[in-house]
Amino acid sequence: MMERGSDKVWMTFTVSLLLLLLAASVLNIQPSAGSVSFHGLEQSAPSSTRAAGDARASTALDDLRYLAIGPSSFGDELAPLIQWKTQKGVKAGFYPLDGETGILNSTPGRDVQEKIRTFIRDMKDKNPYLQWVLLAGDGEVIPSRRIFVNGTAEFGADEDDNYVLSDYYYAGLDGSWDINDNGIFGEEDEQDWYADVYVGRFPASDERELSIMVNRQLGYEKDPPPGAWSSSALLAGSLMDAPNNKDLFDPYKDNAYEVVLEVEEGLPPGVTPFHLLDYPRFEWGGYNRMFDNLNRSSFTAHYEMGYSTVLMACHGDNNGNCTSYKG
């Protein structure tokens, strides 16, 4: 269910695949030798970039599959993660933002966000098997894109509610998100919600914070805590509109169960989903509270049990997600 009154609300599909899903996706890949690349940095590891004019057929082993982006000062902290990924058979590389040959000085774009996205898109074109992109840095280091969501149209909110900050801009690589070049990203028919890569972020503001995050990530992968959390996923979906209104019902927007099924199809092999839903198969009405197992307490209790992947398909605002409907 969904709580919506005077609160500032917009549609969000918060899919917390991020880095834990990135780790879960490669658990069955056997370690193999490979190059580790730190582009633009003084490192003894060989470069993993493909030479210009290289006519080899692209394969999963040839291609860069894990791309890390951040300031050059983060290179030492990211090195253990890049080396570990490559050792596991996931060819990884770090590309710095700054420096004479860094992304911001060598890639076209009107601002930092567009330059980074253009670089990711170019890397995907050169490496078709590229799957994962890690943004190393918080919003001050690597800014998210301010996306237009037209919040005032339906809810009468203030102008700021027309926009949300989102890293999805770096995942949907088709088009520019600003076709009319007016500086407003994500207007109608400008968005690309079909991700070409998984995008995760270590929201670190300095080397110390990043080191903690990298070490925790490596700890989860190399020596994971006991329990079934690594092979389980929590998929929660709430009603997106007033229930039992057949005239206004939309099978995708109003039934988060459909969203849950879409995400479930993309889970790695061996991961078992657990559903928390307002009402399974809520098709053209028929909502009944007795079948509702999603609320604040049930979600909190299950979340604290630990899962490798968490999805919350619902409306949301600055203060959290919505789990009940009042209308």
3.40.470.10, 3.90.1520.10, 3.40.50.10390, 3.40.718.10: CATH of 31-222: 3.40.50.10390
Distance CA(15)–CA(235), nearest Å, equals 9
Model confidence at 314: pLDDT above 80: no
> Global pTM?
0.72
The confidence score (pLDDT) of residue 78 equals 98
Distance CA(86)–CA(82), nearest Å, equals 6
Model confidence at 213: pLDDT above 50: yes
* pLDDT over 70, % of the chain: 65
> Residues of 138-176 as b/e, b for ≥16 C-beta within 10 angstroms?
beebbbbbbbbbebeeeeebeeebbbbebbbbbbbbeee
The confidence score (pLDDT) of residue 47 equals 34
Element (H, E) at 209: helix 207-222
Instruction: Give the CA angle between residues 43, 46, 48 to the nearest 5°.
Output: 115
> What end-to-end distance do the CA atoms of the chain give, in Å?
11
The confidence score (pLDDT) of residue 263 equals 84
φ, ψ dihedrals at 236, nearest 5°: -115, 135
Domain ranges for the chain, please list them.
31-222, 225-321
- pLDDT of 27-44, one tens digit each? 333 333 344 555 654 343
| DSSP at 235 | E
φ, ψ dihedrals at 164, nearest 5°: -135, 150
When comparing pLDDT for 144 and 224, which is higher?
144
